[in-house]
Amino acid sequence: MPDFANLLIRWQQQHGRHDLPWQGTQNPYLIWVAEIMLQQTQVKTVIPFYQRFIETFPTVAALAKANLDDVLALWSGLGYYARGRNLHKTACVIMDHYQGKFPTCSSEIQKLPGIGRTTAAAIAAFSYGESCTILDGNVKRVLTRYFGIDGYPGLSATNQRLWEKAEAVVPRSNAQINMSVYTQALMDLGAMICTRSSPHCIVCPLQSHCTAFLGDRVSCLPTPKPSKVLPSKETVFLLLQHHDKLLLEKRVNQGIWKELWCLPEANKNHHYQSYCAQMLGIDAVCVDLLSPPIDHTFTHFKLRMYTQRLQVKSIFQQPQCNPICWVTADEAFRLAIPTAIKKILSKYRVASTPTSL
């Protein structure tokens, strides 16, 4: 496939993206933060988060020194919070074990927490011009169509074939090939031309060799994920109101919301007033169950969230388990809170008077 890389590079130089906030640098820290944020997240969503993050933590040293709470507060709304926790952890590893310097090859970068093969390859290609292979969702779609590969890409056999193809087309140490441009070209083609629906084959630089295009199979590839109904769960969040403040507790246990501030969570079988007394040391009376419930979809399940409002009468004991804080709704939005909890607080934002939620 001798022309694959050159066709892509020529196209990227003329039509690709050149002014994203993380482009025009070879600083591996700036590239790493962007690559982590871009996992599972669209460019236009990432840009404001990235700019705020880099303004606050301009170097790996600044990030390592930061409080995890402050890192997660900046991550709040971007989802997949393990990425933010790993970013902070990795910054500490780089300071403690790599003298504050990013490793300079993809195999070493890949040993860092939260950095997989594709992310390591992208950092190495953009920062050091290393000849290495990326295979993110966009690139999988391009290669699936270009080589006419059947089978859902999430299956390991299909994934394996795609890695082999990606390896086969990547340019090998060649002074003529700019790996940074090649890597960006693959990403850009997947994002801008070979899109999930209605790809723009007519202007695609790979069109004349593309198996799916030549075989009129573009709309069939990649093979869709076998349909599966997401399981549903229900839960109850307690909106404890004390004057103009709400109670938040920090999740210290494992789980997707680890280290984030949440409303206390109960289940429908609890007697909420007894629960508050026993678990939180708070004497409170139920006001109402706010309706309708709010739905939130995670990757692996759907969550129906009920919100029980309670008015606090007295606080007779500090809770034993999780750290807590009392904040106004406005203050809550400045903390690291999950998007699902933001949905509740947005809908039922506490007004200034104690009884008018």
Which residues lie near ligand SF4 (CB under 6 A)?
Answer: 142, 145-146, 193-194, 199, 201, 204, 206-207, 210, 212-213, 218
Cis bond before residue 224 (omega within 30° of 0): no
Shortest Å distance, C-beta 203 to ligand SF4 = 8
87 to 64, 91, 104, 216: CA distances (angstroms)? 9, 6, 18, 43
Q: Among this protein's residues, is 249 annotated catalytic?
A: no
Work out the number of other CB atoms within 10 angstroms of the CB of residue 217.
14
C-beta of 144 vs 307, nearer to ligand SF4: 144
Shortest Å distance, C-beta 118 to ligand SF4 = 19
Q: Is the dihedral of CA 40, 44, 50, 52 positive or negative?
A: negative
**Residue 246 CB contacts under 8 Å (≥ 6 apart), including other chains:** 239, 240, 263, 326, 327, 328, 329, 332, 345, 350
DSSP-assigned beta bridge partners for residue 265 = 237
Q: Structure tokens of 346?
A: 């947005």
Alpha-carbon torsion angle 30, 31, 36, 40, nearest 10: 130
Among 35, 130, 249, 259, the one annotated catalytic: 35
C-beta of 143 vs 341, nearer to ligand SF4: 143
Q: Look-up: residue for tokens 């933590």?
A: 57
Shortest Å distance, C-beta 121 to ligand SF4 = 20
C-beta of 169 vs 218, nearer to ligand SF4: 218
Shortest Å distance, C-beta 142 to ligand SF4 = 5
C-beta of 190 vs 338, nearer to ligand SF4: 190
What amino acid positions are annotated as catalytic residues?
35
